[in-house]
Structure formats: structure tokens, C-alpha cells
């Protein structure tokens, strides 16, 4: 479990100043990405569903820094909480972009010429001071909330557009695809995992979380973003870790798939509020805000696992865990594979470690995002600048 109390605000400020000091390296005109899409870079924000190495940069003993994480595609741990690629990686491949450099691993502006990843595992939409005021254990809540990630991005944008800052920034923003998360689920998770009241403390968080996402979306639009993907949260009642955490002897608490109804209802409550927010943001016609339906994407896989190569038996069971009815008796997969119940073929499983998905499941979701099944509206393929 992560310990973040030693990561100070001074470190955050120094990282931002470092980003602002990097020299300009991006060319003002890039060829359009092939494959029908017209984006020359991508920038992503969020948490462990999107993080490609930021957490392990300052927390080298994080679970994702050890095997069996990364075993399927990269052959070694990369800081991704999966056995391989994430949705953001499959989006980069579709845009013919390199895998995004994690912000904390970059050294020069050249590293971010085609985009950057600011997502940090376990991070939240709300700031760490909010959780401090509520008396939560801050050693597992990193000080890299959505606001901090936005400041990192501003520093990178400044470093990439230092000659004619205003015009170059506008060009970069217009030619880039932005992935806003998923972000917000950890605001709830940190409360769940510290035994806080669902009715009194967790459910009332939703408007505050949505307001933070709305603010970040508006900031990017004001900076010139034209195309932004904003995912909802997955069905929490189908996640093995939550099924293990909240067992019930009442069969009516579960749906026909075996998922917890009340937790899925909560996910839908968040996603409905997120959709309403996106529809209510004032913007010009050249700005496209796209909702990504991670909820329905994951639920569809669980409904018909065999259709995508998964086994029905493993639909709600983690590939890598430490036992229990869902093989999700701990927060994440044990880094020591010999002490974990590790499945022989992750491609047959939906859940990787009880909280995060396998590369195979992320691939199915990314495919649906790209073909419009889980994106509303669909991602524009033509140039909007």
C-alpha cells in the first residue's frame, strides 16, 4: 500500500518549475496521424486506470513496480496496473502515436512532443487537503490530484510553446486529443477502504467530484482544447475487490450476473451526474466533449465473456490475487508471484488484480471507444483546426 506523507508540496512546485524551464522542442507543424484520425499528440490525466509510470517514479516499491505486472505485453513491470497495455496505450496505437511518456519520467520537452501522461495511481479529483480535513489516512492518498496534474500540463505546454507562446499553444491544443481520466473513483475508494459511511460521507461526494472534473474540463477548453474524452467510472459492484469487501447473505443484493446492485447503482449515479455536467458546459461548436461509457463497456464483457474470449467462470474473479471467493483478498496483486494465485492465461480473465483489468479487457473497451460503441458522440476523425 502506498505511503505519500513524505511527498511534499515543495516537491510538486519544483516539478512544475522544472517543466516550465524545459526548452521548446516541438515542431509547429506535424503530419496528421494516419488511421483516419487527425491528432498529432495526446495528453491524459487520471489514476491507475491510466497511469503508465508516474506512481512508480516516486514510489519504487509500489505493487505495479514488481512482477507479474506487465508480464503479457512488455515482459516486465512498467508502472501500469495491468498485465500489459491500458486503454490509453491502445488509443495511442490507433493515433499512430508513441506510448505516452509519464510526466515524472520525462527529462526534456522532447519527451512530450507527441503527448504526455499525467495520471497517477491512487490519485483523486479532490485535493489532499479535503481528505485531511475529513481525518482520512493520507499515507495512501497521493498529493497529485486533478488540479496538480493540470498544473503539470500547463508547465509542459509552456515548455513546448516558448517561441510564440500564444499561437503555438493554440496550435498544440487544437491538434491534441485529451483523455480526462477516468478520475474520481478513488475519492470514493479511499472512503470505502477506511470504513466511512456510504450514506453520510461517500454518496454526498459525487457533486464535489463532478465539479472538479467540470473545472478541469473548462480549464482545458479555455486553453484551446478541441477534442476531449471524459470517461465515466466502471460498475463498482462487479469489481472483485468490492465483491470481496462487501459480501452479503441476501441473494437479492446481487443481480443475475453476481454483481452488487447498490454499488452499480452508485456508479450509475456518478455517471449520470457526469453526463449532465458535460451537456451543460458552454462551448463553441468546434469543441467536442465525448463521454466514454466504461460502465457499459465492462458490463457487456461480463454479460457475455465468451464472446470476447474470456471464460464465464472467471468473469468476476481476479487473475492475480491472494485467495478468497473472488481471488481478491488483498488490495492488489501480490508482487511476489509465487505467493499469489496467478492464473495461467490472463487473456481469459477480465480482472487482473481485483481492482484493475487485464490487457485483454482493456483492449475490448478501447476497441469499443474507437468504433463509437462506447463513445458519445464518436471521436472526430477529421481535423477541427
CATH number of the domain that 112 lies in?
3.40.50
Distance in angstroms (rounded) separating the CA atoms of residues 24 and 342: 45
Q: Does residue 327 lie within any of the structural domains?
A: no
* Average pLDDT of the residues in 297-303: 97
330-349: buried (b, 16+ CB within 10 Å) or exposed (e) per residue? bbbbbbeeeebbbbeebbbb
Distance in angstroms (rounded) separating the CA atoms of residues 316 and 349: 9
Lowest mean pLDDT among 66-70, 251-255, 338-342: 338-342
Q: What pLDDT score does 256 carry?
A: 97
| Arithmetic mean of pLDDT over the chain | 89
Q: Does residue 121 lie within any of the structural domains?
A: yes
| Contact in structure between 328 and 366 (CB atoms under 8 Å) | no
DSSP 194-219: TT--IIIIIGGGHHHHHHHHHHHHHH
- Domain of 160, in residue numbers: 9-306+360-376
Distance in angstroms (rounded) separating the CA atoms of residues 61 and 66: 8
Beta bridge partners of 288: 227
Q: Does residue 346 lie within any of the structural domains?
A: no
Nearest-Å Rg of the Cα atoms of the chain is: 20
Residues 186-210 have pLDDT tens digits of 999 999 999 999 999 999 999 999 9
Q: Does residue 183 lie within any of the structural domains?
A: yes
Active site amino acids: 48, 353, 356
* Average pLDDT of the residues in 131-160: 96
Which percentage of the chain shows pLDDT scores above 90? 79
CA torsion 267-141-201-150 (nearest 10°) is: -70
Quick check: 148 pLDDT over 80?
yes
Quick check: 40 pLDDT over 70?
yes
Quick check: 17 pLDDT over 90?
no
Q: Does residue 275 lie within any of the structural domains?
A: yes
Q: Does residue 116 lie within any of the structural domains?
A: yes
Distance in angstroms (rounded) separating the CA atoms of residues 34 and 27: 18
CA atoms within 13 A on the CB side of 56: 17
Q: Does residue 160 lie within any of the structural domains?
A: yes
Distance in angstroms (rounded) separating the CA atoms of residues 51 and 39: 21
Q: How many domains does the chain fold into?
A: 1
Q: Does residue 323 lie within any of the structural domains?
A: no
pLDDT-derived band of residue 20, with 50, 70 and 90 as boundaries?
very low
Q: Where are the beta strands (DSSP E) in the chain?
A: 41-45, 101-102, 115-117, 176-180, 227-231, 288-292, 320-321, 341-342, 375-376
Write out the three cell numbers for 188: 470514493
Cis peptide bond upstream of 68, omega within 30: yes
Query: Please, is 76 exposed, middle or buried when counting C-beta atoms within 10 Å of its C-beta (0-12, 13-18, 19+)?
Result: exposed
Quick check: 24 pLDDT over 70?
no
Quick check: 5 pLDDT over 60?
no
Which percentage of the chain shows pLDDT scores above 70? 87
Q: What pLDDT score does 14 carry?
A: 43
| Contact in structure between 340 and 321 (CB atoms under 8 Å) | yes
Distance in angstroms (rounded) separating the CA atoms of residues 174 and 381: 13
Q: What pLDDT score does 19 carry?
A: 39
Amino acid at each position: 500500500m502506498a505511503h505519500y506523507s513524505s511527498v511534499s508540496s515543495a516537491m510538486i512546485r519544483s516539478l512544475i518549475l522544472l517543466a516550465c524551464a524545459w526548452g521548446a522542442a516541438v515542431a509547429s507543424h506535424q503530419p496528421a496521424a494516419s488511421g483516419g484520425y487527425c491528432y498529432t499528440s495526446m495528453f491524459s490525466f487520471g489514476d491507475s486506470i491510466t497511469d503508465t509510470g508516474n506512481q512508480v517514479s516516486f514510489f519504487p516499491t509500489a505493487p505495479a513496480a514488481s512482477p507479474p505486472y506487465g508480464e503479457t505485453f512488455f515482459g516486465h513491470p512498467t508502472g501500469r496496473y495491468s498485465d500489459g497495455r491500458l486503454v490509453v496505450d491502445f488509443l495511442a496505437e490507433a493515433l499512430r502515436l508513441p506510448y505516452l511518456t509519464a510526466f515524472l519520467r520525462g527529462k526534456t520537452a522532447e519527451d512530450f512532443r507527441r503527448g504526455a501522461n499525467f495520471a497517477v495511481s491512487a490519485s483523486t479529483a479532490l485535493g489532499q487537503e479535503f481528505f485531511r480535513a475529513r481525518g482520512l489516512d493520507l499515507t495512501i492518498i497521493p498529493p497529485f490530484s486533478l488540479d496538480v496534474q493540470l498544473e503539470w500540463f500547463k508547465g509542459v505546454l509552456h515548455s513546448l510553446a516558448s517561441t510564440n507562446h500564444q499561437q503555438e499553444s493554440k496550435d498544440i491544443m487544437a491538434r491534441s486529443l485529451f483523455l480526462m481520466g477516468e478520475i474520481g473513483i478513488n475519492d470514493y475508494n479511499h472512503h470505502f477502504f477506511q470504513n466511512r459511511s456510504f450514506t453520510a460521507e461517500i454518496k454526498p461526494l459525487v457533486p464535489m467530484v463532478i465539479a472538479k472534473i467540470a473545472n478541469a474540463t473548462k480549464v482545458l477548453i479555455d486553453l484551446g482544447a478541441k477534442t476531449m474524452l471524459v470517461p465515466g467510472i466502471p460498475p463498482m459492484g462487479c469489481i472483485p475487490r468490492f465483491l470481496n469487501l462487501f459480501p452479503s447473505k441476501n441473494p437479492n443484493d446481487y443481480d443475475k450476473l453476481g454483481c452488487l446492485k447498490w454499488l452499480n447503482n452508485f456508479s450509475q449515479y456518478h455517471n449520470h451526474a457526469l453526463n449532465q455536467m458535460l451537456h451543460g458546459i458552454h462551448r463553441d461548436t468546434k469543441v467536442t466533449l465525448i463521454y466514454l461509457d466504461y460502465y457499459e463497456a465492462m458490463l457487456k464483457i461480463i454479460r457475455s465473456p465468451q464472446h470476447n474470449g474470456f471464460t464465464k467462470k472467471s468473469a468476476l474473479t481476479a487473475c492475480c490475487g491472494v485467495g478468497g471467493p473472488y481471488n481478491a483478498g488483498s488490495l492488489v496483486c501480490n508482487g511476489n508471484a509465487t505467493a499469489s494465485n496467478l492464473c495461467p492465461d490472463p487473456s481469459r480473465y477480465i480482472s487482473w488484480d481485483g481492482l484493475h483489468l487485464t490487457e485483454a479487457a482493456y483492449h475490448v473497451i478501447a476497441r469499443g471507444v474507437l468504433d463509437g460503441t462506447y463513445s458519445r458522440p464518436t471521436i472526430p476523425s477529421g481535423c477541427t483546426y
